[in-house]
Amino acid sequence: MHSKTSLMALCAAAAVKEVAAAHGHQRLHADKREIVWAATDTVVVVDYVTVTVTEGQEPTVAAVATSAAVSTTTATRVHRPHSHSKHHSSASSKSTTSVVVSVPTTSVAIPTVIPTTLVTAVKPTTTAVENTPVVSTPTTTSVVVKEPTVVVPTTTSAIVTSASSKPTTTAVASTGGKRGLAYNDANLVKEFLSLGGEASWAYNWGSSTGDLPNGVTYYPMLWSPAPDHSNGWEGFATDAISKGADALLGFNEPDIASQANMSPQDAAAGHIQWLNPYASKARISSPAISSSENLNQGIDWLNQFFAACNGKCQVDFCAAHWYGPGGNAGAELFLTHLEAVHTACGGKPVWVTEFAAESGSIDDFMSNIVSALESDRFSFVEKYSYFMASVGQLFSSSTELSSYGKIFAGIA
């Protein structure tokens, strides 16, 4: 017979034995049994109360203690250990209440700091694509991007070749001054003239134009014989001729991959198909070549073009482009190149439909060029136009010419 107390002791001993036995076999049976250890912690949160009093009127500690709020929170943590892990019981902590009495002797003002935000307004920049001929039809508008190839020659050699032996047409020759404008915006052509500039002709790398001022002859260009350029060509060419155009311009830099990009043989065939039919109505230009001195480009390409034509291409003058250094030295390179083109063209006239100085003094370059091209030495140059009538080139703003723009215009 066991008393109530002794029974409770026996039960407790049995429980301890069972737990001990289970712990001793945990390695062997960890996959069958799981021991859950539970313990509780008492977390005491102590609120500190700061009381400001006047000297000589301090309250007692007991009075302050009655206003201190002490809160306790009980948190339970449950551990589910893996085999071989060690287990520790958590000990309870005692609750302590502390009261801090602060007796200030001075008053301190804490400034309020208001954050500021710096806002920077950035003005968007718009970049206009220059030298972009716009070809208009009654129903569609196509845009061709013209990106000039800049070549700085180191040497210039005159290459003699036989041009087309077919007689030139008897069409009325171009009249007016030599200076013209390569443009995208017809309004800038008007502005150029209103500022006192001299220009008798213009072109825009396309076949149709906007409203050009009276007295400025528009010359259409067949940029390439590809369908997106040749569609409607007959109507545009006929219309331009009816309005006074006495010449038609051929393909744009077919010797450059980024431009019309044609072999001399394909260019000859396209020229015969699309330009020859107007031989009795207007003067016809050769394809406009770059100033590159690389093989199969520039004058070398022009020589191959004439060979491929075999005398069947109607060419009344040669169109040429040039890009290179500025200054007096650059001007001399440019003029020497034009003489080489004149020779390669079989002594026929030359139109310089694009040229620009890419470095050095553009003012000095332009002064030399204008003076030379208007002289008897370069009487074979019938037309010339700088690249181009746009802001940043001949214009410094939409209403003002640049310094070298004024030289080109003949007003400086």
Predicted local confidence at residue 97, as pLDDT: 38
192/70 same-domain check: no
47/149 same-domain check: no
268 contact partners, CB below 8 Å, separation of at least 6: 305, 308, 309, 310, 312, 313
Buried-state track 288-306, b at ≥16 Cβ within 10 A, e below 16: bbbbbbeeebbbbbbbbbb
Residue 18 lies in a domain: no
d(CA 314, CA 280): 10
The CA angle 111-113-118, to the nearest 5 degrees, is 155
Predicted local confidence at residue 210, as pLDDT: 84
d(CA 361, CA 252): 28
351/403 same-domain check: yes
Predicted local confidence at residue 164, as pLDDT: 37
291/360 same-domain check: yes
Instruction: Write phi, then psi, for 77 (nearest 5 degrees).
Output: -110, 130
386: enclosing H helix or E strand? strand 381-389
What is the DSSP-derived secondary structure letter of residue 161? -
Residue 15 lies in a domain: no
Residue ranges for the chain with pLDDT beneath 70: 1-176
Predicted local confidence at residue 58, as pLDDT: 52
71/139 same-domain check: no
Predicted local confidence at residue 57, as pLDDT: 56
Q: How many CA atoms lie within 13 A of 324 on its CB side?
A: 23
Instruction: Write phi, then psi, for 319 (nearest 5 degrees).
Output: -100, 135
- The enclosing domain of 383 has a CATH number of 3.20.20
303/394 same-domain check: yes
The sign of the CA dihedral 203, 205, 207, 212 is negative
71/148 same-domain check: no
Predicted local confidence at residue 313, as pLDDT: 98
The radius of gyration of the chain from alpha carbons, rounded to an integer in Å, stands at 47
Which two tokens mark 244? 């006074």
Tell me the β-bridge partners of 70. 46
230: enclosing H helix or E strand? helix 227-230
One-letter amino acid of 98:
S
Residue 20 lies in a domain: no
Which of 157, 96, 152 is CA-nearest to residue 303? 157
Cα separations in angstroms, 216 against 26, 192, 254:
105, 12, 27
Model-wide pTM > 0.85: no
Residue with tokens 């709020």: 69
Q: How many CA atoms lie within 13 A of 326 on its CB side?
A: 13
236/374 same-domain check: yes
Grouping H, G, I as helix, E, B as strand and the rest as coil, residue 2 is: coil
Residue 254 contacts residue 227 (beta carbons within 8 Å)? no
66/154 same-domain check: no
Predicted local confidence at residue 42, as pLDDT: 41
Strands 134-136 and 141-143 turn out to be antiparallel
Residue 127 contacts residue 77 (beta carbons within 8 Å)? no
46/174 same-domain check: no
Residue 1 lies in a domain: no
Residue 285 lies in a domain: yes
d(CA 31, CA 181): 93
Residue 218 lies in a domain: yes
122, burial (CB in 10 Å: exposed 0-12, middle 13-18, buried 19+): exposed
Strands 201-203 and 37-46 turn out to be unpaired
322/380 same-domain check: yes
46/168 same-domain check: no
Residue 26 contacts residue 77 (beta carbons within 8 Å)? no
Q: How many distinct structural domains can be found in the chain?
A: 2
d(CA 400, CA 195): 8
d(CA 373, CA 335): 8
Domain with 44, as residue range(s), is: 38-53+60-80+94-103
29, burial (CB in 10 Å: exposed 0-12, middle 13-18, buried 19+): exposed
